[in-house]
Structure formats: C-alpha cells, structure tokens
Amino acid sequence: MAVVQVSQVVKEYRDRGSAPVVALRGVDLTVEAGEFMALAGPSGSGKTTLLNLIGALDTPSQGRVSIDGRDLAGLSPVQLADLRRDRIGFVFQSYNLVPVLTAAENAEYVLQLRGVPKAERRKAVAEVFAALGIGELMDARPPQMSGGQQQRVAVARAIVAAPAVVLADEPTANLDQASGRALIERMHRLNHERGITFVFSTHDPMVLEQAERVVNLVDGQIASDVRKGAA
C-alpha cells in the first residue's frame, strides 16, 4: 500500500513585499511501505518544501497529498495533528531536541502524548535506543552529547511510536562524515530489519549511496527517479 501519495503538487510561496516563488511545479510521487528513499537535488530545488507538504506541516497551492490513502485536504486541524503525531516521524537537520529533558524524555514525549503508561514508554524507548547504539545515553541531556549522538536520539524519537513514514530533512548535514555515515547505516538497518519507511533529503553522495531509491528534484520538478536493483 502506498504510504505517501503526492499528485500534481504545485507549491507557490507568496510573501508580502516580494515576488511569488514557485518551489514545486507539478510533482507526482508515490512512496510504498518499506522504502528507503532519498530526495536529492541542489539547494533551493524544493526538497524541504516537499517534505513539509508530505509531513502535513504546510499545504500545497495545487494538487493533492495523501498519507495512508487519506487526502490531507479533507482532514480537520485536529485530525491533521493526530496524523502527524501517530503516523509521521520527523528528523530535522538541527536535531530539535529539548535541551532540558534527558534523551529518553525527549524520545518518549510522543508516547506520553498518546497516553502510554510510563513503564511501557521506558521499555519502548530503551529498546529503540539499544537498536541505535545509544543505550547508555538514556539519561544524558542534549547539550552533553555530540551531534551524531543527538541525531540518533532524534531518530529514536521519530521511530519510537511506530510511524508509517519517517521524514528526515538533510539529517546528516551538520555531522562529520563518519557520524553521518554511521547514522545513515543505522537508519538503513532499521529499515531493513523492521520495515520502517524512510524518506530523507540530502545532497551528500555518501548518503545517496545508501539509498535504495533516489528521486532527484531540479527546480521544483522530478528530473529522475531511480531504484537500485535488489541486492
């Protein structure tokens, strides 16, 4: 089943006092459950815009975005908030962890919002931290951690509530080469072993190499869409 369906999407930004910018010009994209997909393209090509639309953080000017077969345009603000909480995991370039909370508290917040009891939350978080190789960091706070460690916590936070898709906007952009590689390899393993669907943007060739499908955006349009042969 298609987790993400983007049909004929146009996104135009109209900011007061400046000329309108067309960031996406008719994008069609289907992402199936279990994909490990990279969104490539130069800076300004529309990667962040597309991820924001898929993640229901913004709305298209034209066209349709569906998650789990549900057209986002048909959902109320409350339904959209529920969908973001329950079906979508986000990983941002700058980690976006809450500095005063421990790593485990950061990761369990979504489960708390869903009313999952404390002991069960801890168990789920511990399990996901172990899978990401950060089991010893449960009680550390983000300012004490390296960028690579913080981004692993961000991935743990994104996957702990078992979303339909994890959207990661240039997750390795602030990491050194080794930490970036380690992060993407962990993500790939989670995809492979647990079937977690990842869509991540990047312009790093090392990250693209790990992807099983590369969709290349150029000037707001899909210029190529390449699936690697089964390994």
Binding residues for ligand ADP, rule: CB under 6 A, are 13, 15, 21, 23, 41, 43-49
Per-residue binding string, Mg ion, 8-47, x by CB under 5 A, is ---------------------------------------x
Return the one option of ligand ADP, Mg ion, none that residue 163 interacts with (CB less than 5 to 8 A, by type): none
N- to C-terminal Cα separation, the chain:
22
Q: Which is nearer to ligand ADP, 31 or 153 (CB)?
A: 31
The footprint of Mg ion on residues 59-118 (CB under 5 A) is none
The yes or no reply on residue 48 touching Mg ion (CB under 5 A) is yes
Return the one option of Mg ion, ligand ADP, none that residue 76 interacts with (CB less than 5 to 8 A, by type): none
46 in Cβ contact with 222 (< 8 Å): no
The yes or no reply on residue 149 touching Mg ion (CB under 5 A) is no
Residue 204 CA: distances (Å) to CA of 92, 94, 153, 184, 187: 16, 16, 21, 11, 15
- Give me the least distance between CB of 63 and ligand ADP, in Å please: 15
Dihedral angle, C-alpha 73, 76, 81, 87, nearest 10 °? -50
- Give me the least distance between CB of 98 and Mg ion, in Å please: 23
- Give me the DSSP letters along 88-118: EEEE-TT----TTS-HHHHHHHHHHHTT--H
The tokens describing 229, both together, are 């042969």
Which positions lie near Mg ion, rule CB under 5 A? Answer: 47-48
